[in-house]
Structure 1
């Protein structure tokens, strides 16, 4: 735990240093936002004014962290939804902040500080939870208890330096959605490992966790694939209890999707037209396509080649992790989720966000850790052959980890001056 705390603190300090030394933003949206939401005093900063120079903290740190989508999140925190495209953003993050802010402040600096506290706690807990999940799933596959502990600890350290970087630190939804995804994965794995009949509550809790994660990031809906996979296995083995659990848990996630579609539909339709008459009736799908050009192969343009190059290292790790764990039946459901996500990330989403959105999965972390400890996974019959391949070697893992460490610092600097990728 002490090693994790040290690495976690060093990564966050490196990100903060990159923000401090970066020049001021050239975009005016943050300045406009600050002028509107700083009329009231900052409760947190004013209480610290006798200890630190809060004006310098604002100028060199906090002002720069109000960037990209966080501008939307904090506007929604204080004002709620005013425009159609704002429905694209997961509702739980800004609503949670809105509730907290009503308790003590209407100042945007306080909202930013509170969101950073929440996100950093969630990021750290995700690192701890990934260790527990790794021990739960891979523990029986290791011959040595010391090796399994080392492997799990390495996974938690890699989670701390994951390429989401600054987005797991500031007012974004990556950290919270990651935590609830890992919680859902842990509860499901615990129930399946210890017999679903005896641990129905844990299995149902997984559905609740994924539903909450979906409220923070829509791509977490992909974890519904787990319940389809479990349902298929239950039907195959004709076990009623095993059929009932994935049905109920999957319906919880489906109910979250239905609510997210129904609320804007009831507010705007049928007068709005366009997406109101579409097959899906989804404003989110329409807004992403209309305002952000999200869609199958829409991102494949010459102008986006630099963004594909930025995303390529992480995409490569995701693809290699799919190859590595393809034959591991114990995590077949998780593998399917990662497969569908990787396919959609490459073909449909804005490709550069893979560095931060891939936090909802974990196979790539297992993959790099398994390269460092080659005995970590025996699920692939061709493991010995792949040891000779650079892409499946310790050297490759070292290079990727080095890239992650450099990237999170560079990314923090780019974010602070309002430059892509975001």
Structure 2
């Protein structure tokens, strides 16, 4: 991607981004359609047979476009997507199924109940709805990320960096997972939206009292968006660190701020935003608690996790059935999976560290940050932008560290799609290289990173559709 070609797309950036998104999705779907077969797992075919689909798995009233769409959607129903689609179709039966997003499956089911043509019970219909949600959410998240990048990049590079940032999200290493029946695309949309309203809430140097009121409203909207993100994926809780960080930073002035209406309102809005974020995670846990633990009141034996201080079926299932926990994944057979995850982890850790240190900048006027004096001489706007990036980097940094120590590490390649700072870093490095100016530093040239993203996503798509690891 050249700086010149990106600049030519800036006349109508949103339209250009959607055109790039459409071309990329077409390529990935073509890879899926021509993939050789189901590999070693035939779960999707078995579910189709159980559905009475041996004669005709698409409803007779479906048109040719719907038939093609459902066929492609079933090709996308691989790995965890089988759980999402099946759970949306029939609900949660087994305890271990609660590891898969309750919010996402209920959304699919709600839409399916209103699906025309008498196909509401079809597995193919649920797969098509889920894949459509992923496609639409990914397109919308590209636009939201562009708006976010415009807000947090410096004025002299704003359009170029913002545009390339959004393009990188199109080419995300999550790849086919942003098209398949997974919650990643919807999570990205809500998480980016929450971060957009959060940076709107950070006071600019010229903020007035009326703007401070708008700031607190934006904080609440941000918390609601993060709550929806947590409703789709539990790692959305990490975005609540933004509000916790802001509350911590206000502690030195807490007694004085509580004496003013704006100060008190600020504290309350941050606290409420944090509660809204947590509600997205707690709501499905409460549904499960009522189903599995309230039975104890009727003399039946409850599950062991019901007796925990903070009962969470999600945490229990991850630990009990998937062996998730601190350093549990650090075994010799998993070394290849750490190697697969390394490029994404490196980008996340390096860019978040540079952002936290205030180095994630592209500005030809300032070759480097060499002293506090130089930093003090910088315009207030630049320091404001650095603060935005520094705060947004916190959830990404914690996620990357947690992925190394606690998760099945290979999933970082897809869940990283919903965190913006590493996109900013690579985009800033590309622009800095084109302008021959100072920018974020990596071990390899930024163009090599883009080539890696493209190659990884294409190969991943073929492996995924063929039910082959290590997609």
Q: Is the 8 A contact 1:24 1:64 kept in 2?
A: no
* Whole-angstrom distance in 2 between the partners of 1:296 and 1:90: 22
Aligned length: 402
Change (3 A) 1:256 1:47: closer
Q: Is the 8 A contact 2:202 2:388 kept in 1?
A: no
Q: Is the 8 A contact 1:319 1:342 kept in 2?
A: yes
Equivalent of 2:164 in 154, 165, 181 = 154
Aligned pairs (5 A) from 1:15-414: 15-25=28-38, 26-37=40-51, 39=53, 42=58, 46-49=61-64, 54=67, 61-104=72-115, 105-138=120-153, 141-142=154-155, 144=156, 147-193=157-203, 195-237=211-253, 238=257, 239-269=263-293, 270=296, 271-328=301-358, 329-374=387-432, 384=438, 391=443, 396-414=445-463
> 1:261: Cα distance to partner?
2.9
Q: Is the 8 A contact 1:196 1:203 kept in 2?
A: no
* Whole-angstrom distance in 1 between the partners of 2:76 and 2:402: 29
Q: Is the 8 A contact 1:167 1:356 kept in 2?
A: yes
Change (3 A) 1:199 1:170: same
Q: Is the 8 A contact 2:341 2:410 kept in 1?
A: yes
1:15-70, Cα deviation, whole Å (9 max, x unpaired): 12221222211312111111233558745x85433x79x47x766x4442111111
* Whole-angstrom distance in 2 between the partners of 1:118 and 1:174: 10
SS at match of 1:115: helix
Q: Is the 8 A contact 2:173 2:413 kept in 1?
A: yes
TM-score (norm 1): 0.89
Corresponding position of 1:380? none
Q: Is the 8 A contact 2:191 2:236 kept in 1?
A: yes
Q: Is the 8 A contact 2:220 2:273 kept in 1?
A: yes
* Whole-angstrom distance in 2 between the partners of 1:403 and 1:358: 15
**RMSD between superposed Cα atoms in Å:** 2.4
1:2-26, Cα deviation, whole Å (9 max, x unpaired): 4323321222122122212222113
1:381-417, Cα deviation, whole Å (9 max, x unpaired): xx95x77x652xxx52111111110111111111111
Corresponding position of 1:379? none
1:334-361, Cα deviation, whole Å (9 max, x unpaired): 2221111111011111111111001121
* Whole-angstrom distance in 2 between the partners of 1:5 and 1:257: 31
Corresponding position of 2:207? none
Corresponding position of 2:11? none
* Whole-angstrom distance in 1 between the partners of 2:389 and 2:165: 16
Corresponding position of 1:7? 20
Q: Which has the larger radius of gyration?
A: 2
> 1:245: Cα distance to partner?
0.9
1:209-254, Cα deviation, whole Å (9 max, x unpaired): 1111111111111111011011122333332222111111111122
TM-score (norm 2): 0.80
